[in-house]
Amino acid sequence: MNRILVMHGVNLNLFGKRDPKHYGTETLEDINGKLSALAGELGVEVSFFQSNYEGAFVERIHEAHGDGTAGIVLNAGAWTHYSYAIMDALASLEHSGRGSAHVQRPRPRSLPPLLRAFCR
């Protein structure tokens, strides 16, 4: 069975509490529940990780090298725009499956996300 790691970055633990007008009322647990149900339908094993600490986020990416993870879906939050540490960790992955998710559409005036080059 394929194993997928879903990673949620900085402040994403506040879904459902933080600025519901922009982010909605679904909690991180709600989102993970929906992803778990979809994974079950697809016959995929899914695990979840959330951290507000960049170093812990990078460490979990490193652990994915040898724990049987077939791919990573990541919403790095604000780190998408400036985290060279996460970019380097993703660049070292041998996985063919990497994806990036965003809560909101990136604004045209924002810098291009650093991580975009490493996600397919």
pLDDT band at 36 (very low <50, low <70, confident <90, very high): very high
The one-letter amino acid at 120: R
CATH code for the domain in which residue 31 is found = 3.40.50.9100
Q: Tell me, yes or no, if the pTM score tops 0.85.
A: no
Domain hosting residue 21, numbered range: 3-118
pLDDT tens digit sequence for 43-86: 999 999 999 999 999 999 999 988 889 889 888 888 888 888 99
**Of 110 and 68, which is predicted with more confidence?**
68
Distances in Å between the alpha carbon of 11 and those of 1, 8, 45, 50?
31, 9, 25, 9
How many independent structural domains does the chain possess?
1
Distance CA 94, CA 69 (A): 10
